[in-house]
A and B are shown apart, each in its own frame.
Chain A
């Protein structure tokens, strides 16, 4: 299926948010995810299915005041 991840259109077979995050970053702490503008709490990543056309933001800590 086709996903937009952090602004880039990719082909992915990640069935869940959890599976997608594992392909994006090795970090297990300090990561947050929104799908189609809605926050997906970490506790539900493994249960949250992704669908063709979803827009996913995978975010972490950056330097900032």
Chain B
């Protein structure tokens, strides 16, 4: 996807203490795409879109807070009208405690929105079969959760993330659960094409510093993936040759 050319870090804007802190984090992260939610104008407050315009960073509207396919589809249409983009981060949440996706509603909403001409990036669970179904109905990427939103628990099931990478031909974006830089690097080492990070940056003690750490972690993890790591071995393999060793 075109936005992955500039940066493999998508920044979620939720959780920041202030617009100024968010702006610093966006700049430090080097991101080329940020999520926004759609809320009533009186609750949303002004300033977010003008700031993003000033930075030249395009938006990825989400359907956060939707629990049914119908609500998510309606929210996506409103977002397209408001932000003049056909990209949508599709979230259909299954329950309040885990904030994990409702796969049945998610697939239904994805199919509808693809038919309506959207480029759909679904926030999904780490289920390789569901990810494949989402790709099959025409989603332009799949975004499996590493662990629950905001939990900072990292990647609960790395093997499933690897399986998802092998199951679909579209980009895989690790979304949710990243806590610190090593989690982001691991996601990239597992073969993810990008990561989406919100809380781990916006709720860090120093958001801009953490944004910079994540930026480097994503680059490092991607390079490590494409460079081809050495195989794991049970025993040591000497890195220094015995050839020419002195004899006493």
What residues of chain A have their CB less than 8 Å away from a CB belonging to chain B?
A: 6-7, 24-27, 29-34, 37, 39, 41-42, 57-65
Q: Does B163 contact A (CB under 8 A)?
A: no
- Chosen A-B contacts, 17 in total, with CB atoms closer than 8 Å, are A6-B40, A27-B41, A27-B46, A30-B83, A33-B78, A59-B40, A59-B78, A59-B82, A60-B39, A60-B82, A61-B38, A62-B36, A64-B39, A64-B64, A65-B12, A65-B13, A65-B196
Beta-carbon nearest neighbor of B84 in chain A: A29
Interface of B is mostly: mixed
Given A32-B78, A37-B74, A41-B81: A59 touches B39 (CB 8 Å cut-off):
yes
| B198 cross-chain contacts in A, Cβ below 8 A | 65
A-B contact count (CB 8 A): 97
Q: Does B138 contact A (CB under 8 A)?
A: no
B41 and A25 contacting across the interface, CB-CB below 8 Å:
yes
Against A, the Cβ 8 Å flags (1 = close, 0 = not) of B1-32 are 00000000000111110000010000000000
What residues of chain B have their CB less than 8 Å away from a CB belonging to chain A?
A: 12-16, 22, 35-46, 48-49, 59, 61-62, 64, 74, 77-79, 81-83, 149, 196, 198-199
Contact for A64 among B14, B40, B45, B196, CB less than 8 A = B14
| A62 cross-chain contacts in B, Cβ below 8 A | 36-39, 43-45, 48
Given A24-B41, A27-B41, A57-B40: A65 touches B62 (CB 8 Å cut-off):
yes
Given A64-B62, A65-B12: A27 touches B49 (CB 8 Å cut-off):
yes
User: When chains A and B are docked, how far (Å) is the Cα of A34 from the Cα of B45?
Assistant: 19
User: When chains A and B are docked, how far (Å) is the Cα of A27 from the Cα of B40?
Assistant: 13
| B36 cross-chain contacts in A, Cβ below 8 A | 61-64
User: When chains A and B are docked, how far (Å) is the Cα of A10 from the Cα of B37?
Assistant: 26
B48 and A61 contacting across the interface, CB-CB below 8 Å:
yes
| A26 cross-chain contacts in B, Cβ below 8 A | 46
